[in-house]
Amino acid sequence: MNLSRRLFTLHSWFGLLTGVFLLLLGLSGSVLVFRHELDHLANQQLLTVSPTGPSVPPGTLDRCYRTIVRRYPRLDGIAWLNPDAGPTDAYNFRLYLNDERLFTYDLGLISLDPYTGAILREGKSADFTPSFIEWLLQFHFSFQLGVPGAALTALFGLTMLVSLLTGAIIYRKMIGKVLLFSVRINRKNWRTISSDLHRIVGVWSLLLNAVIFFTGFWMNLFAFKDKSWQTETVPTRPNTLMAISADSLYHKALQQMPDLQPTYVYLPTQPERKFRVNGPLIDQWVLWGTSNLVNLDQQTGQVTLVRRLSELPIGEQLEATFFPLHVGNYGGWPVKLLYVLIGLTPGLLSITGFLLWWRRARKPKRPVATVRVTGKPARPIRTRA
């Protein structure tokens, strides 16, 4: 068996074994590209609040924090997800829970009215209670199977990369023709349609799919660490509350980096964690903005770290782009729409790849006949099918 045939066999089996899972990952990823917009659209009435004054009352963030820690006495942490909220937007908080079970990924969501402190919605991401989008997000990176599920999705990212690489080698002579629009879909029958679709879609989606699946694999590497598995079954300690108000820490962080545009604020509930504010800088491309941060000690108010992306080594700067590259939030609606379309391609490639395999599997073998020549032993010949 020559190299091309071996690669084709590898390409086929990787596609067949992971096709359904890649279909689910691709479809859920396409929906999640617009997860913030869809969540707001589906819950617009619930998440729209009525201002009671010209601005959010002083101490609002701290009040939200105190409300949450009273309701959840054992938390790994809290994250404010929308520090850029407008005057009529509810505040959304991620809850880092722990039910001490390995096969559940313990995230939750709670939304509060910043003016009244009223809880508008809350629940675990394993349920549909807070939002279907939240459930879908957790399904996308863990199949709702906890840390083992996160490891599984990482492995599927690797299998997709192998499939893409082998496919690129197999169809290497077609890449230039497809990119130059020299290849058209032959509509003669379902076999020719599936074959041409597989080549054309595979070529056009090759680069971006490779980026998406590699970054997904990289971000889920935590699931291969022993510590990630061990901590899932260890009870979380009772909350250690911040000694300094969340609002004071937040404003102090912004003073340390005035050009920071916050997109994520971590509120610690365990003593070893730090208060943290992340985001891009003003006029900085979002693609490069996730590694700017300010850390403060929540017990003393001391600044423990101020880090700008420009100060990081090249490797860490590159890694900082992985999350934006994976979710497609770095180029506005045109990029998001492109990511939606790319998210549909793993499923399409799986379907057309299965049809190609099915055609080969059902193809009858050529019959073998013999011809006897006088004075010579009979020799087999193959007749044309």
Q: How far is it, in rounded angstroms, from Cα 289 to Cα 321?
A: 8
Q: By residue range, what is the domain housing residue 93? A: 49-139+237-317
In a domain, 94, yes or no: yes
Quick check: 380 pLDDT over 70? Answer: no
Quick check: 162 pLDDT over 90? Answer: no
In a domain, 130, yes or no: yes
The region of weakest confidence among 55-64, 104-113, 349-358 is: 349-358
pLDDT given at position 384: 46
In a domain, 217, yes or no: no
In a domain, 338, yes or no: no
Half-sphere exposure of 34 (CA within 13 A, CB side): 17
In a domain, 265, yes or no: yes
pTM: 0.86
Q: The tokens 């003016």 sit on which residue?
A: 115
Quick check: 364 pLDDT over 80? Answer: no
What's the CA angle centered on 349, arms 346 and 350, to 5 degrees?
85
- Tokens representing 286 are 């979002």
Q: How far is it, in rounded angstroms, from Cα 181 to Cα 319?
A: 34
Closest by CA to 76, choosing from 95, 93, 99, is: 95
In a domain, 253, yes or no: yes
Phi, psi of 96 (to 5 degrees): -100, 100
In a domain, 374, yes or no: no
Phi, psi of 102 (to 5 degrees): -70, -35
Q: How far is it, in rounded angstroms, from Cα 359 to Cα 340?
A: 30
Q: How far is it, in rounded angstroms, from Cα 383 to Cα 365?
A: 10
How confident is the model over 186-234, as pLDDT tens digits? Answer: 888 877 888 888 889 889 999 999 999 999 999 999 999 999 999 898 9
Classify 382 as helix, strand or coil. Answer: strand
- H helices of the chain, in order, are 3-32, 35-42, 44-47, 60-71, 132-142, 146-170, 172-179, 190-219, 226-232, 246-256, 314-319, 322-327, 332-362
In a domain, 132, yes or no: yes
- Tokens representing 292 are 């700017």
Phi, psi of 309 (to 5 degrees): -55, -40
The region of weakest confidence among 94-98, 105-109, 339-343, 354-358 is: 354-358
Count of domains forming the chain? 1
Q: How far is it, in rounded angstroms, from Cα 317 to Cα 201?
A: 31
Quick check: 111 pLDDT over 90? Answer: yes
**157 with 189: CB under 8 angstroms?**
no
Q: What is the DSSP string of 49-115?
A: ---SSSSPPTTHHHHHHHHHHHH-SS-SEEEES-TT--TTBPEEEEEE---S-TTS--EEEEEE-TT
